[in-house]
Amino acid sequence: MMGDVFTQYWYPIITAFHQGKSALPAHLGISADDYYQITELVGLVPIATHDLPQYAALQLRHELIGMRDDELSELTELLTEHLDHHQPYAQQMATVLANASMGSQHLWRDLGMPERPRLSQLFHDYFPTLHALNHHNMRWKRFLYKQLCESGGDYVCRSPSCETCTSYEECFGEER
């Protein structure tokens, strides 16, 4: 099982990060020690942030996320509440996922996953109660912000009922 979550989730996340194909900040948003340890566990060679070709973009991403620190904290807290702490590096995954949520694309792309079904499986394995709440298969980033809105956060809830919302297809339609 341990090798499975590393192969299914951590490997593609770190690979995409190394290739500049994610919206993650330096060290995936986790401590440098955790980043190096997880990277070695999945069989990749850790790359120092300053040696990555997207170093300037990482610095900018870090600054932009820093301006949304409260939002990042709320997302991390939401994910942590639903975390399966038996999964390896569970808290780190919550932090990585919260950081990826700061990106501007679909969450699976911002995280560096190869496709949305893999992200859904990650939610199933790492955040099972949150996964169960998304019974209409809403897009994950929208779903997370909807959860923050419903918990009384300062996020705009656009419709009292998704089924009556004029933007229904944006949340539940196919992702391209």
Q: What is the pLDDT of residue 2?
A: 47
**Token pair listed for 173:** 């339609």
Q: What is the pLDDT of residue 166?
A: 56
Q: Report which secondary-structure segment, H or E, holds 149.
A: helix 140-150
Residue 114 and residue 125: Cα distance in Å, rounded?
17
CB 172 within 8 A of CB 139: yes
Q: What is the pLDDT of residue 169?
A: 61
pTM above 0.85, yes or no: no
Q: What is the pLDDT of residue 10?
A: 97
Residue 37 and residue 168: Cα distance in Å, rounded?
41
What's the CA dihedral at 7, 11, 12, 16 to 10 degrees?
A: -170
- The mean pLDDT values, 10 residues at a time, for the chain of 176 residues are 80 94 91 96 86 71 75 94 96 97 92 95 97 92 91 56 56 58
CB 51 within 8 A of CB 45: no
